[in-house]
């Protein structure tokens, strides 16, 4: 308990004082608890997804874990409040590391207030599959952007004396078949794509826990894969925390323990009695059990959970709302704005039609274990207390109300969009038609296609035919196709915008906030342009991962499936589109503003030195620009596509010019050499490009490395 000693030393001292049983107690959970009706709930359990009892005689506290990807889950059952932040993908669209830190600090603060000391979140699975049900919990398709945002999010969480977590390690990039699927990918591609996102998140955030995923990787389950866990995560990344399994993602005792798994969750099928036996018969060395327990202890000391236990209080909803709204305002991406139809005029009179997606009552949220409970219950079904698995939940931040407040002279009318005729009639008589469309996504299932569900494409087409000033507001889990894009005036992507969403949307529509978000993922025109035109293993019969399987057997998980990611390999997202010469609907990095920015004076002497350039706000409004730097490596690298190597979010007043200097992340300038197991800078010519988006590069130069 000497807080002056380093965490490592305290962990070691505590370990030495522990019995074998006490060590074992720290390396598994106590069962499904509140997650499964009727299951026993251990004393001291705080109502979250997991619980590990502490050791009072040594002052080792209980670990109370809560799912908290986009805010804290399961608050309703205890009548607690939790702020719903914008989706993590929305956070990535801010390209703002400070917003990410703020995001994590909201989660950390509220976890403490609710009595938790560990967060499960920090999802950084790369978007190889744009129809993945959990993309809203992750940070997009680029390893540098995703890793930077999630790393800063974890810093924010852990700034509250909470154990932070990064997940789902690794390559759990689709939900279909997630418990059985074998993901194939060569080591170089792994290191430069999916694992690089984790590496960067870990370097920045130093999470004290990492959750291994359900899937297999090149044959072995992720929670018993010694390459990804032992060689890469613990050795190469220098990860000092503990690895916990996803819920029932542990498949063995000896193999998993030797491969680097430190904690089984939620129960003790493999790391309880079986682990004791394995230690006693020598198949798992005692030193390995010590290492497992010591890592858990280290995380408890290093986080501050031992010295600064959480103090329960009422969560401050006002602070949470303010923070969530700020992040939402930075996250909204203006995809299209024909003839500057946006921003709308606050003196607008006549009729503004608001159509669809329950915009009269709220904004959509994502489902699964990332679901946050809405204050007052689901805004579209108040009969429910807590969120129900498998049902979309709306949060009570109604765009309609805020649009009414912004435009006091207009007659703002709402139509549900359920009936095409009624919607078109309203749109036809309106001066402006704002159509809200949604794509509800959840853990446990992928979207079968990029198309908007529930015939919403037809709704947009009909409204656009009836009204030339049609503005589409998207609330989606990830990329969707938009066959109607050429026929609407403006398009805003708001992701799942969180509890401040309604007001953030109105602020952007009316120009009180200048949109500044940029896409963290490519929006394809159609499924056929993706590396996999169909989600691998997804069929009518195997529409999910088995969690939603019904007793009558209507849907079940594929017994075995393989997804060969070597097909895209290194070419994730925009890199695929560039090398395949496919034109996306909206490119990675794209996002418009109500002002304009001019780029000039590019300077770069060497691929390992800073890239400098100037940006000027040449328009009439203040705005933030996210300036992006891409590099294309020498031909010898065999990677003939540009990669994002750095960026900066710059705030500029009208007319203001700023010099920007960006030093590329060295890993992004290198290739991973499997033979020497290290990153290498290739000699040769590097092409450096700077601009507003991956398809809007304004400046370029070539620099050589001898």
Binding site for ligand BGC (CB under 6 A): 49, 67, 120, 167, 246-247, 369, 443
Q: How far is the CB of 136 from ligand BGC (least distance, A)?
A: 13
- Residue nearer to ligand BGC on the CB measure, 179 or 522: 179
Q: How far is the CB of 270 from ligand BGC (least distance, A)?
A: 17
Name the E strands within 465-561: 470-476, 490-493
- Residue nearer to ligand BGC on the CB measure, 246 or 415: 246
Phi, psi of 254 (to 5 degrees): -65, -50
What angle is formed at CA 520 by the lines to CA 518 and CA 526, rounded to 5 degrees?
105
Q: How far is the CB of 594 from ligand BGC (least distance, A)?
A: 38
- Residue nearer to ligand BGC on the CB measure, 140 or 396: 140
- Residue nearer to ligand BGC on the CB measure, 215 or 337: 215
Q: How far is the CB of 247 from ligand BGC (least distance, A)?
A: 4
Strand order of the sheet with strand 597-603?
A: 597-603, 611-617, 657-662
Q: How far is CA 110 from CA 9, 319, 397, 647, in A?
A: 30, 10, 20, 31
Q: Is 648 exposed, middle or buried (0-12, 13-18, 19+ CB in 10 A)?
A: middle
Residue 63 host element (H or E) = strand 63-67
- Residue nearer to ligand BGC on the CB measure, 242 or 510: 242
Measured distance CA(388)–CA(368) in Å, rounded: 9
- Residue nearer to ligand BGC on the CB measure, 125 or 617: 125
Q: How far is the CB of 222 from ligand BGC (least distance, A)?
A: 11
- Residue nearer to ligand BGC on the CB measure, 265 or 337: 265
Q: How far is the CB of 108 from ligand BGC (least distance, A)?
A: 16
- Please name which of 149, 100, 105 lies closest in space to residue 521, comparing C-alpha atoms: 149
Measured distance CA(235)–CA(513) in Å, rounded: 45
What does the DSSP 8-state code read for residue 162? -
Q: How far is the CB of 671 from ligand BGC (least distance, A)?
A: 32
Q: How far is the CB of 244 from ligand BGC (least distance, A)?
A: 9
- Residue nearer to ligand BGC on the CB measure, 443 or 475: 443
The long-range contacts involving 420-425, CB below 8 angstroms and separated by at least 24 positions, are 420/458, 420/459, 420/462, 423/355, 423/356, 423/459, 423/462, 423/463, 424/462, 424/463, 424/465, 424/466, 425/466
- Residue nearer to ligand BGC on the CB measure, 179 or 253: 179
- Residue nearer to ligand BGC on the CB measure, 247 or 510: 247
Name the E strands within 343-469: 350-355, 363-364, 394-395, 410-415, 432-439
For 240-292, give the DSSP string. -SEEEE-TT----SHHHHHHT--BB-S--TTTSHHHHHHHHTTSS-HHHHHHH
Q: How far is the CB of 211 from ligand BGC (least distance, A)?
A: 7
Q: How far is CA 147 from CA 99, 209, 617, in A?
A: 14, 16, 29
Q: Is 409 exposed, middle or buried (0-12, 13-18, 19+ CB in 10 A)?
A: exposed
- Residue nearer to ligand BGC on the CB measure, 96 or 443: 443
Measured distance CA(547)–CA(535) in Å, rounded: 18
Q: How far is the CB of 62 from ligand BGC (least distance, A)?
A: 17
Measured distance CA(474)–CA(691) in Å, rounded: 25
Q: How far is the CB of 668 from ligand BGC (least distance, A)?
A: 28
**Is-contact 137 496, C-beta < 8 A?**
no
Structure tokens at 605: 């002497």
Q: How far is CA 186 from CA 352, 643, 682, in A?
A: 54, 19, 20
- Residue nearer to ligand BGC on the CB measure, 367 or 664: 367
Q: What does the buried/exposed string (b/e) look like for 162-184 if buried means 16 or more CB atoms within 10 Å of the residue's CB? A: bbbbbbbbbbbbbbbbbbbbbbe
- Residue nearer to ligand BGC on the CB measure, 120 or 433: 120
Residue 663 CB neighbours (<10 A)? 13
Q: How far is the CB of 246 from ligand BGC (least distance, A)?
A: 5
- Residue nearer to ligand BGC on the CB measure, 266 or 558: 266
- Residue nearer to ligand BGC on the CB measure, 224 or 527: 224
The residues with which 563 forms a beta bridge, in sequence order, are: 183
- Residue nearer to ligand BGC on the CB measure, 123 or 569: 123
Q: How far is the CB of 49 from ligand BGC (least distance, A)?
A: 4
Structure tokens at 299: 């995380």
Q: How far is the CB of 35 from ligand BGC (least distance, A)?
A: 6
| Residues contacting 3, CB < 8 A, separation 6+ | 307
What does the DSSP 8-state code read for residue 126? -
Q: How far is the CB of 114 from ligand BGC (least distance, A)?
A: 16
Q: Are strands 350-355 and 216-217 parallel, antiparallel or unpaired?
A: unpaired
Q: How far is CA 487 from CA 336, 468, 483, 509, 529, in A?
A: 11, 8, 9, 19, 22
Residue 435 CB neighbours (<10 A)? 29
Measured distance CA(35)–CA(381) in Å, rounded: 22
Q: How far is the CB of 73 from ligand BGC (least distance, A)?
A: 7
């Amino acid at each position: 308990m000497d807080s002056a000693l380093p965490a490592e030393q305290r962990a070691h001292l505590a370990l030495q004082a522990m019995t074998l049983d006490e060590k074992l107690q720290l390396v598994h959970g106590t069962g499904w608890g509140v997650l499964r009706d009727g299951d026993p709930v251990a004393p001291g359990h705080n109502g979250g997804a997991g619980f590990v009892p502490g050791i009072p005689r040594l002052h080792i506290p209980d670990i109370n874990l809560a799912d908290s990807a986009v805010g804290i889950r399961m608050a309703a059952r205890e009548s607690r409040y939790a702020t719903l932040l914008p989706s993590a993908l929305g956070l990535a669209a801010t390209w703002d590391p400070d917003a990410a830190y703020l995001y994590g600090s909201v989660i950390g603060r509220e976890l403490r207030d609710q009595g938790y000391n560990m967060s499960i979140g920090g999802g950084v699975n790369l978007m190889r599959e744009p129809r993945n049900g959990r993309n809203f919990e992750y940070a997009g398709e680029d390893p540098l952007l995703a890793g930077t945002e999630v790393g800063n999010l974890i810093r924010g969480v852990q700034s509250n004396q909470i154990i932070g977590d990064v997940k789902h390690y690794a390559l759990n990039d689709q939900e279909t078949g997630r418990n059985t699927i074998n993901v194939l990918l060569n080591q170089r591609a792994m290191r430069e794509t999916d694992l690089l996102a984790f590496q960067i998140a870990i370097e920045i955030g130093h999470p004290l826990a990492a959750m291994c995923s359900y899937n297999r990787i090149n044959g072995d389950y992720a929670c018993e894969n010694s390459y990804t866990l032992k060689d890469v995560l613990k050795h190469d990344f220098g990860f000092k925390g503990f690895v916990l399994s996803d819920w029932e993602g542990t498949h063995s005792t000896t193999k998993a323990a030797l491969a680097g798994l430190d904690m089984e969750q939620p129960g003790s099928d493999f790391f309880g009695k079986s682990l004791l036996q394995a230690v006693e018969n020598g198949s798992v060395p005692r030193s390995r059990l010590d290492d497992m327990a010591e890592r858990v202890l280290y995380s408890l000391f290093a986080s501050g959970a031992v010295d600064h236990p959480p103090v329960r209080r009422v969560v401050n909803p006002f602070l949470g709302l303010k923070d969530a709204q700020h992040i939402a305002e930075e996250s909204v991406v203006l995809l299209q704005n024909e003839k500057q139809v946006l921003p709308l005029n606050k003196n607008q009179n006549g009729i503004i039609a608001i159509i669809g997606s329950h915009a009269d009552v709220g904004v959509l949220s994502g489902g699964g274990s990332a679901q946050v409970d809405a204050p007052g219950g689901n805004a579209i079904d108040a009969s429910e207390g807590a969120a129900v698995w498998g049902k979309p939940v709306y949060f009570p931040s109604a765009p309609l109300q805020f649009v009414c407040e912004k435009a006091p002279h207009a007659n703002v009318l709402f139509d549900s969009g359920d009936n095409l005729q009624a919607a078109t009639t309203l749109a036809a008589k309106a001066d402006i038609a704002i159509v809200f469309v949604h794509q509800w996504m959840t853990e446990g299932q992928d979207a079968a296609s990029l198309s908007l569900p529930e015939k919403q494409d037809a709704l947009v087409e009909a409204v656009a035919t009836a009204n030339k000033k049609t503005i589409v507001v998207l609330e989606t889990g990830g990329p969707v196709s938009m066959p109607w894009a050429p026929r609407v005036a403006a398009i805003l992507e708001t992701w799942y915008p969180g509890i401040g969403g309604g007001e953030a949307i109105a602020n952007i529509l009316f120009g009180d906030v200048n949109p500044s978000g940029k896409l963290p993922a490519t929006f394809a025109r159609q499924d056929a342009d993706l590396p996999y035109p169909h989600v691998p293993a997804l069929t009518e019969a195997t529409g999910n991962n088995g969690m939603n399987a019904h007793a009558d057997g209507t849907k079940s998980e594929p017994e075995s499936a393989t997804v060969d990611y070597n097909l895209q390999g290194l070419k994730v997202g925009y890199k695929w589109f560039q090398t395949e010469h496919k034109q996306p609907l909206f490119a990675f990095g794209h996002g418009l503003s109500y002002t304009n920015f001019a780029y000039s004076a590019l300077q770069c002497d060497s691929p390992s030195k800073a890239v400098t350039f100037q940006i000027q706000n040449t328009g009439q409004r203040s705005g933030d620009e996210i300036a992006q730097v891409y590099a294309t490596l020498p031909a010898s690298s065999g990677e003939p596509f540009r990669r994002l190597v750095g960026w900066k979010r710059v705030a500029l007043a009208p007319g203001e010019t700023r010099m920007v200097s960006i030093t590329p992340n060295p890993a992004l300038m290198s290739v991973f050499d499997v033979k020497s197991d290290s990153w290498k800078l290739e000699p040769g010519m590097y092409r450096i490009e700077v601009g507003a988006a991956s398809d809007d590069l304004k400046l370029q130069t070539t620099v050589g490395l001898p």
